[in-house]
Amino acid sequence: MPWITRSSRVVYENRWISVREDTVEGPGGPGIYGVVTVRHPAVFIVAVDDDDRVCCVEIDRYATGGPSIEVPAGGTDGEEPADAAARELREETGLIAREWTLLGRMNALNGVSNAPEYVYLARGLTQDPTADTLATQQEEGIGEVTWVPFDRALEMISDGTITDGETVAALAYAALHLRRL
């Protein structure tokens, strides 16, 4: 039996998300379903340098209560995903990429949300001497920007050092594209 929405109401919204509660008929019968809709798609950037290292950022995540090692990422704020990826990489790390490859599109927590995400591979990296990353890093809780050998980044998933689901997925996309898996 396909899902049937009987009624829907928004129970919370802000400039980033909307949360609605739906009365539904589903495979298990009638019920209530909560759905979070992210207003703008997100982008995730696997930036790999000439030494085969991945750029990672450490971010203090409020929702999970502590630091998280992730690839640079952020919201599109209404712009095209490729433009947002370039902006986010520069804002968070001060890097500019000469080569961009769209690796794929995914959905975060698709059991409870509508949150499209785009994953990019960035190569041909140079530091932008005019980038002022400090303000962005402070605003977003970004601590250290580090470079991790690609194979070590995959090990960090396996050993539990990297736990952010989108970073895990982004690195998997990159590993498949680069024929590492």
Total domain count, the chain: 2
Do residues 120 and 149 both lie within one domain?
yes
**Residues 97/155/113/23 CA torsion (nearest 10 deg):** 170
Taking only the tens place, the pLDDT of each residue in 99-143 is 999 999 999 889 999 999 999 999 999 998 887 776 666 676 778
What is the pTM (predicted TM-score) of this model? 0.91
Q: What is the pLDDT of residue 136?
A: 66
Polymer length in residues for the chain: 181
Q: How far apart are CA 87 and CA 140, in angstroms?
A: 14
Taking only the tens place, the pLDDT of each residue in 14-34 is 999 999 999 999 999 999 999
> How many angstroms separate the Cα of 144 from the Cα of each of 51, 78, 93?
19, 28, 10
Q: How far apart are CA 172 and CA 161, in angstroms?
A: 15
Q: What is the CATH number of the domain that holds 148?
A: 3.90.79.10
Whose tokens are 């750029």? That residue is: 55
